[in-house]
């Protein structure tokens, strides 16, 4: 069968099982868009900005476990993908980006809308390609999907010059296994290391498991719970590890790190053994490395050999897919109990509940983000898929919305990409249409990608949007309050009327400024069908996320919630113009 490059592209996407992709057309990718009409099995979502396409593909990938696909034209279209690609790279999310490129004879001539996107994205992709022969295209696409989705997932970019899209060749679907001599897939479970790890676990008196995104990517939730229960080892979660274990479980300590629970951070510092599962000792998790968990031996299990010993020296490093590694480890573990250890953690937890936790509904005249999140948790039964943006609301969600199931929190962790939530929520909802998907977003991040509301309306995507409006770039304001002598430079925002703005998009919207108004609005949002629904929560401007480990400080040196906050805080709700 003689096909053009453009037709081979769609045929290949079909063969990879792609039925949905997100993109934005332009000159150099037009042959591909022209051929799209002959492949009606693939639904193309027109975004309002290419960054939105990558976040949607990312949200879709995280929600479904499948590879997400984004498409853009050359030059500015391709460079607009960069933030989304870097986000996917940092959080190990499998996406394939297809970009148009100027025709090969023009490459290197500074042609109109030419950018060296393979060069630009080289350090932020797992791999990328510039296709120079139409004969290579089917194979390159096969490889691209394989690389994106295998091992530690990540983004792959395929840059296709316009003349390659137009050139014709005999289409032979790639057959047999992918042969990539330099691409290492997870190997067998390292037996020697497993025994060494089991010995450390058996000898530990204050063991602690650190569970990260890798648990979810590997599908090792059951093994994790079994490991925790059999050896009575409590589990601390990274931000992206939320959902790896039901947070109501008595052994689950919730989130660790900069805005983690104080009791959890103390437990890490006091532990005599850390079992790190699919996490990478990010600086937001460790605080100052020199004083991090100095009493603990460390076992690190990760699929990426380059992560072992990168930030924290370890006693036992196990490279492999977490699920089989944990299964193998469990074969060597006897039941154990650590009552004293659990008791000491419980004491800290009680102290934390009294000191740090905002209890909902105590003050009818003001609204705190924590109260909104607690109410959302109650009203959704803790079962919603939450897609959060970046900043205070993101940390408040992580603290006040205990997740029960894997894949119910989608957030930009490593990159901390503001503007992620709205497009990623659209992608997540399109990937899991039967779930209740909430985009939880601050007023700052919302305005970065709010153009994608039009995409949601056009595609009738039923996302619920909780816009947490405090009239500030809240997390930056918090840093200014703590570390920059309250010089609030460039953080107050004069915002548009978000409800009117939503109305302009054709989206029903409500404003809530009291705790007792939350339930009705949320229930109306839940009942709404046919498109998005927005609730603007007017929350306290000067609220701060506690506890906080200042960047570069010891993990146990946390700024705790001052006692006066509960009653004496001078409060000022965000206002509309």
Partner 1 sequence: METGKHTLIALMENRPGVLNRAVSLFRRRAFNLDSLTVGRTDCEEISRMTVVVQGTRAEAARLARELERLVTVIRVEPLNGRPAVERDLALIKVTATPETRSEISQLCEVFRARIIDVAKSSMIVELTGTETKIEGFVELLKPLGIIEMVRTGLVAMGRADNVLDRNGHASSWVAHRERVQAERRAGEVS
C-beta of 118 vs 548, nearer to partner 1: 118
The values of phi and psi at residue 266, to 5°, are: -60, -40
Query: CB-wise, 140 or 253, nearer to partner 1?
Result: 140
Q: Is 505 exposed, middle or buried (0-12, 13-18, 19+ CB in 10 A)?
A: middle
Least spacing, CB of residue 107 vs partner 1, in Å: 12
- Cβ closer to partner 1: 184 or 362? 184
Q: Write down the least CB distance from residue 130 to partner 1, Å.
A: 8
Helix (H) or strand (E) holding 77: helix 76-79
Q: Which is nearer to partner 1, 179 or 486 (CB)?
A: 179
The residues that touch partner 1, with contacts defined as CB under 8 A, are 118-119, 122-123, 126-127, 130, 133, 135-136, 139-140, 142-143, 147, 172, 174, 176, 178-184, 304-306, 308-310
The length of the chain is 577
In 3D space, the residue among 236, 199, 202, 208 whose CA is nearest the CA of residue 341 turns out to be: 208
Nearer to partner 1, 308 or 360 (CB): 308
Q: How far apart are CA 484 and CA 29, in angstroms?
A: 47
CB of 137 to partner 1, least distance (A): 9
**Chain centroid, CA 342 distance in Å:** 30
Note whether 169 and 136 are within 8 A (CB): no
**In angstroms, what is the minimal distance from the CB of 52 to partner 1?**
27
Least distance (Å) between residue 82 CB and partner 1: 15
- Yes or no: say if 87 and 14 are a contact pair by the CB < 8 Å rule: no
CB distance 162 to 102 below 8 Å: yes
Nearest approach, Cβ of residue 406 and partner 1 (Å): 26
Which parts of 84-175 are beta strand (E)? 95-101, 127-130, 155-161, 168-170
Phi, psi (5° rounding) for residue 155? -85, 145
CB of 192 to partner 1, least distance (A): 18
* Shortest spacing between CB 282 and partner 1, in angstroms: 16
CA distance 443 to 510: 15
Please identify, using beta-carbon distances, which residue of 50 and 159 lies nearer to partner 1: 159
Strands (E), 278-322: 297-302, 316-319
Which of 322, 299, 306 is CA-nearest to residue 219? 322
Residues 6+ apart with CB under 8 A from 97: 54, 57, 69, 70, 71, 72, 81, 85, 121, 155, 156, 157, 158
CA distance 355 to 562: 8
List alpha helices for 461-507, DSSP H. 474-483, 498-505
List residues with catalytic annotation. Answer: 50, 112-113, 162, 475
Angle (CA) 234 235 241, round 5°? 175
Query: How many helices (H) and strands (E) in the chain?
Result: 24, 20
Grouping H, G, I as helix, E, B as strand and the rest as coil, residue 127 is strand
CB closer to partner 1 out of 140 and 544: 140
- What percentage of the chain's residues is helix, strand, coil (to nearest 5)? 40, 15, 40
- CB-wise, 126 or 464, nearer to partner 1? 126
CB of 99 to partner 1, least distance (A): 16
- Residues 370/400, Cβ–Cβ less than 8 Å: yes
Q: Which is nearer to partner 1, 89 or 225 (CB)?
A: 89
Sequence-ordered list of residues with C-beta below 8 angstroms from that of 258, at least 6 positions apart, any chain: 284, 285, 287, 548, 549, 551
């Amino acid at each position: 069968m003689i096909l053009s490059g453009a037709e081979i592209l769609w045929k290949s996407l079909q063969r990879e099982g792609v039925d949905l992709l997100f993109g934005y057309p332009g000159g150099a990718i037009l042959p591909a868009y022209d051929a799209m009409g002959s492949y009606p099995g693939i639904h193309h979502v027109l975004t309002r900005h290419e960054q939105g396409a990558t976040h949607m593909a990312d949200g879709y990938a995280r929600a479904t476990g499948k590879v997400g696909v984004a498409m853009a034209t050359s030059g500015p279209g391709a460079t607009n993908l960069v933030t989304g690609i870097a986000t996917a790279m940092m959080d190990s999310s499998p996406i394939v980006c297809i970009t148009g490129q100027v025709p090969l004879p023009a490459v290197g001539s500074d042609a109109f809308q030419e950018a060296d996107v393979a060069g630009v994205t080289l350090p932020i992709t797992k791999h990328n390609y510039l296709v120079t022969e139409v004969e290579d295209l089917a194979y390159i696409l096969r490889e691209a999907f394989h690389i994106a989705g295998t091992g530690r997932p990540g983004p792959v970019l395929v840059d296709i010059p316009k003349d390659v899209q137009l050139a014709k060749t005999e289409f032979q679907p790639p057959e047999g296994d992918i042969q990539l001599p330099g691409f290492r897939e997870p190997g067998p479970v390292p037996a020697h290391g497993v025994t060494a790890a089991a010995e450390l676990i058996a000898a530990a008196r204050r063991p602690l498991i650190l569970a990260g995104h890798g648990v979810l990517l590997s599908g090792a939730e059951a093994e994790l719970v079994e490991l925790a229960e059999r050896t009575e080892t409590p589990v601390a979660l990274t931000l992206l590890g939320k959902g790896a274990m039901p947070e109501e479980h008595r052994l689950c300590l919730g989130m660790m790190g900069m805005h983690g629970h104080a009791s959890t951070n103390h437990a890490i510092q006091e532990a005599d053994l850390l079992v790190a599962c699919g996490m990478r000792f990010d600086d937001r998790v460790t605080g100052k490395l020199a004083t991090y968990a100095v009493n603990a031996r460390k076992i690190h299990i990760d699929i990426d050999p380059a992560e072992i010993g990168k930030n924290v020296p370890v006693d036992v490093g196990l490279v492999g897919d977490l699920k089989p590694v944990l299964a193998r480890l469990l074969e060597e573990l006897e039941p154990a109990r650590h009552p004293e250890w659990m008791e000491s953690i419980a004491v800290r937890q009680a102290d934390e509940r009294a000191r740090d936790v905002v209890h909902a509904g105590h003050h009818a005249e003001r609204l705190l983000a924590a109260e909104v999140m607690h109410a959302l948790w109650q009203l959704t039964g803790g079962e919603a898929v939450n897609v959060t943006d970046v900043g205070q609301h993101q940390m408040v969600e992580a603290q006040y919305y205990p997740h029960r199931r894997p894949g119910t929190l989608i957030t930009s962790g490593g990159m901390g990409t503001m503007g992620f939530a709205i497009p990623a929520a659209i992608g997540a909802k399109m990937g899991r249409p039967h779930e209740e998907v909430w985009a939880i977003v601050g007023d700052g991040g919302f305005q970065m990608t709010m153009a994608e509301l039009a995409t949601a309306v056009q595609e009738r995507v039923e996302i619920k949007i909780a816009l947490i409006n405090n009239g500030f770039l809240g997390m930056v304001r918090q840093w200014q309050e703590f570390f920059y002598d309250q010089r609030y430079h460039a953080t107050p925002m004069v915002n548009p009327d978000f409800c009117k703005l939503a109305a302009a998009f054709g989206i029903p919207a409500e404003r809530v400024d009291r705790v007792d108004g939350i339930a009705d609005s949320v229930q109306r949002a839940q009942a709404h069908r046919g498109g998005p629904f927005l609730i603007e929560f007017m929350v306290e401007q000067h609220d701060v996320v506690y506890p906080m480990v200042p960047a570069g400080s010891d993990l146990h040196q946390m700024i705790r919630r001052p006692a006066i906050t509960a009653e004496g805080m001078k409060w000022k709700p965000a206002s509309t113009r």
